[in-house]
């Protein structure tokens, strides 16, 4: 497998050029985005390589990956549904929404459907508490928010993905 630096030399150099040499760790998030764009998640190898490029430890890289809900260290379905279940959303039914959605898909939170299409995750704070249940969907094409959801609406959306070639 080619390394990120080998495969994207120009892009990595362009990212690094945006920051002073003594502040190159500031390039961490753009490099993580590059790695995730390539593989759909950020592998341990990619974390190690990014750490070497930035002269920081792989643990420091992993701590950023673990903190942000838009970075992932494991492969998942083509569509990643992240349901907010923090306290204000839970008071508006998000925990029950998550439970029923997973039941309809035959999975548990954090799992991927058998066809590899959908992964459902529980996250904290999508900044739409007053419109909960709310979830965001990460796809290869970007990020889309769905507010004031019902399980029926969510399943209708998932069926549209299933019907795509």
Sign for the CA dihedral angle at 153, 157, 160, 162 comes to negative
How many domains is the chain partitioned into structurally?
2
Q: Do 8 and 48 fall within a single domain?
A: yes
Q: Do 158 and 86 fall within a single domain?
A: yes
Domain residues for the domain of 46 are 4-67
pTM for the model stands at 0.78
CATH code of the domain containing 19: 1.10.10.1590
Assess if residue 73 is contained within a domain. no
Q: Mean per-residue pLDDT for 11-34?
A: 94
| Cα 160 to Cα 44, 139, 154, distances in angstroms | 33, 14, 10
Residue 141 has pLDDT above 90, yes or no: no
Q: Do 101 and 57 fall within a single domain?
A: no
Q: Do 8 and 58 fall within a single domain?
A: yes
CATH code of the domain containing 112: 3.40.30.10
Q: Do 86 and 107 fall within a single domain?
A: yes
Q: Do 63 and 94 fall within a single domain?
A: no
Q: Do 48 and 96 fall within a single domain?
A: no
pLDDT at residue 1 in the model: 53
Q: How far apart are the first and last CA of the chain?
A: 28
66, 69, 67, 63: which is closest to 121 by C-alpha? 69
pLDDT in tens, 27-85: 999 999 999 987 789 999 999 999 999 999 999 999 999 998 889 999 899 999 999 99
């Amino acid at each position: 497998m080619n390394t990120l630096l080998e495969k994207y030399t120009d892009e990595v150099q362009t990212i690094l050029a945006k920051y002073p040499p003594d502040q190159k760790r500031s390039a961490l998030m753009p490099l993580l985005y590059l790695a995730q764009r390539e593989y759909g998640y950020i592998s341990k190898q990619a974390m190690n390589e990014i750490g070497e490029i930035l002269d920081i430890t792989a643990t420091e890289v992993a701590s950023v990956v673990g903190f942000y809900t838009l970075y992932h260290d494991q492969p998942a379905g083509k569509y990643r549904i992240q349901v907010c279940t923090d306290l204000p959303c839970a008071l508006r039914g998000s925990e029950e929404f998550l439970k029923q959605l997973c039941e309809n898909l035959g999975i548990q939170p954090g799992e991927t459907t058998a066809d590899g299409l959908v992964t459902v995750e529980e996250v904290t704070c999508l900044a739409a508490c007053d419109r909960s249940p709310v979830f965001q969907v990460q796809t290869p094409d970007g990020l889309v928010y769905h507010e004031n959801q019902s399980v029926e609406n969510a399943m209708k959306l998932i069926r549209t993905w299933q019907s795509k070639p």
